[in-house]
Amino acid sequence: FPTAVHWHGVRLENRYDGVPGITQDAVQPGDSFRYQIYFPDAGIYWYHPHLREDVQQELGLAGNVLVEPVASDYYAPVNREAVLMLDDLLLDENSVVPFGEESANYMLMGRFGNVFLTNGEPEYELETDAGEVVRFFVTNVSNTRTFNISFRQDGEPSATPLPIKVVASDLGKFEREVMAQSVVIAPAERYVIEVQFRDPGSFSLLNQVQGINHRMGAFREEVSSLGTVTVSDTRAPLDYSGAFDAERTNDDVIADIDPYRSEFERAPDHEITLTLEVDNLPSAIEQSMNYDWVYFNPVEWTGTMPIMNWATTGAEVRWILRDESGTENMDILWNFNLNDVVKIRIYNDRSAFHAMQHPLHIHGQRFLVLSQNGEPSTNLVWKDTVMLPSGSTTDILLELSNPGRWMAHCHIAEHLESGMKLVFDVEGS
């Protein structure tokens, strides 16, 4: 395959962004291209191809970059750190299920896997001492699956999940650390979380979601194991319980965001609608899809219609980003000046033929999610990818601090291949 490497979430020099046809030519088999990357923001980032991403990323061409903070107290103290790269892979009894040759298949909902992988392995294992606080840097590198992760003691199905401290996401820390029982991570999103394993035993890293049977109209809980943490009887030599229990307020993040607060309440500069057009689908698929109108889930957690999904290609399905002028996908070209601050309102069309969530990624910049469905965000963090549930309205504030021509797109790989992308120019130096 021709290929290129996109450095996801990094506010890097435009010519190294790794998008064939926008920032560089594709690298042909046998050729090479040298990337020179400067990492301005601490956190977990990742790299992947940006050409037939549905194939190359699915087959494992992805990796993490962990950027250490300069300040030693940027994060709270922990006993250890670990990286979790979450993925799934679609296999039959012999090998990987074939991909579309000329264009992606599974175009309707994206390619859900039937085997879960953590760091490329089906059975992730971590060993700790009792009392350890572990900082996990988590990335969702799947083609389409949204994860809802938690930690639960094995053999105790009714046990409360271990508290998860949510520390950071994408390009930095939250304004305030908060405790949660689970964390939802859409494709391409990253989260920094901390978990204390206070007692000896075995604890499962779980993906726990609400699936739906489209034919039967039934919702059901689905729980899958992503790995195991084994906690020994030995006590950790350093006790960070106090630091874990304290939920820090990050004054540095609040100060960084303060200059933008006057922009929060103004009218949007641009609007985008996320929708879908279909053509020439078999009548059986169209009839089955009518159940979507009755049994509605804002997030498509699982691949519940595999045959129908497999049968859809770019010939039948076109996912769309449509701006306020009616212009669509790559016909959109927004123009901004360097250091502009732009408010964008995003509608995810509930009335589309198959409405579902979309993780929207914006290259080379950072943004704040101001509100969703009219509810203001009360704990802000700089993002490069936002999860947009079906039927939702989301306001973001985009800081344009990086010159060049950049892409914004749905990060479901098959939706990107169907054309769900746009470009914008940031002029200045």
Q: Are 56 and 111 within 8 A, CB to CB?
A: no
Parent domain of 91: 70-248
Distance CA 254, CA 176 (A): 9
Among 211, 228, 248, the domain boundary falls at 248
Q: Is residue 76 one of the residues assigned to a domain? A: yes
215-254 tens-digit pLDDT: 555 556 788 899 999 999 999 999 999 999 999 999 999 9
Q: Are 112 and 90 within 8 A, CB to CB?
A: yes
* Residue linked to tokens 């309440």: 265
Question: pLDDT of the chain along its 429 residues, tens only?
Answer: 899 999 999 999 999 999 999 999 999 999 999 999 999 999 999 999 999 999 999 999 999 999 999 999 999 999 999 999 999 999 998 899 888 887 888 888 899 999 999 999 998 999 999 999 999 999 999 999 999 999 999 977 778 899 999 999 999 999 999 999 999 999 999 999 999 999 999 999 999 987 665 555 555 678 889 999 999 999 999 999 999 999 999 999 999 999 999 999 999 999 999 999 887 666 656 655 555 555 557 677 565 555 455 455 556 788 999 999 999 999 999 999 999 999 999 999 887 767 789 999 999 999 999 999 999 999 999 999 999 999 999 999 999 999 999 999 999 999 999 999 999 999 987
Co-location of 183 and 235 in the same domain: yes
Among 227, 248, 269, the domain boundary falls at 248
The closest alpha carbon to 168, from 136, 147, 193, belongs to 193
Distance CA 43, CA 392 (A): 28
* pTM as predicted: 0.93
31-42 tens-digit pLDDT: 999 999 999 999
Co-location of 225 and 101 in the same domain: yes
CATH number of the domain that residue 215 is part of: 2.60.40.420
Co-location of 200 and 225 in the same domain: yes
DSSP label of 70:
S
Distance CA 381, CA 358 (A): 19
Distance CA 389, CA 410 (A): 12
Q: Is residue 214 one of the residues assigned to a domain? A: yes
Q: Is residue 60 one of the residues assigned to a domain? A: no
Please state the domain count of the chain.
2
Q: What secondary structure does DSSP assign to 34-66, as a single string?
A: -------S-EEEEEEESSSHHHHTTTT--EEEE
Co-location of 228 and 371 in the same domain: no
Question: Euclidean distance between the first and final Cα of the chain, in Å?
Answer: 34
The closest alpha carbon to 225, from 242, 246, 241, 204, belongs to 204
Co-location of 360 and 419 in the same domain: yes
Co-location of 307 and 237 in the same domain: no
